Amino acid sequence: MKMTFIYDDKNNQVAYLFNQLIISVTNNKLMGIILGHCVYGLQAKLVGTYFKEKIIDTKGETIAELKTESTPDKLSFNKESFITESWGMIRKIKEHFSPFVEEKLVWSKNNFIDILSR
């Protein structure tokens, strides 16, 4: 099974994608969503842009990298609850576009999961 995993600046696997939903690997909780190239956190706030297998914050600093990998395990989670939660998040989104951000070649000092939780 191929999955897309999300890694932080220390190359720790912190989340995975399921139908563009960002799910925490530690507790299988919905943390955010990717719509087009826009990345939104739990509060439906724009936190960055998905571009070139990276998530870049609104200042242009990298906050995560995405890698598609084969995994022998099937992850178990309640798809229906994620779908319900994600629609609630989508309804709250007010910014439906991301302004152009010049990518900097540095990692943000802020933690990816913390950014999504704000």
Strands in 1-118 per DSSP E: 2-7, 13-18, 21-24, 30-35, 38-41, 46-51, 54-57, 62-70
Q: Are 47 and 93 in contact (CB under 8 A)?
A: no
Tell me what pLDDT residue 74 has. Answer: 64
Residue 106 confidence (pLDDT) above 90: yes
Residue 108 confidence (pLDDT) above 90: yes
Alpha-carbon dihedral sign for residues 29, 30, 32, 37: positive
How large is the average pLDDT for residues 16-43? Answer: 93
How large is the average pLDDT for residues 9-16? Answer: 96
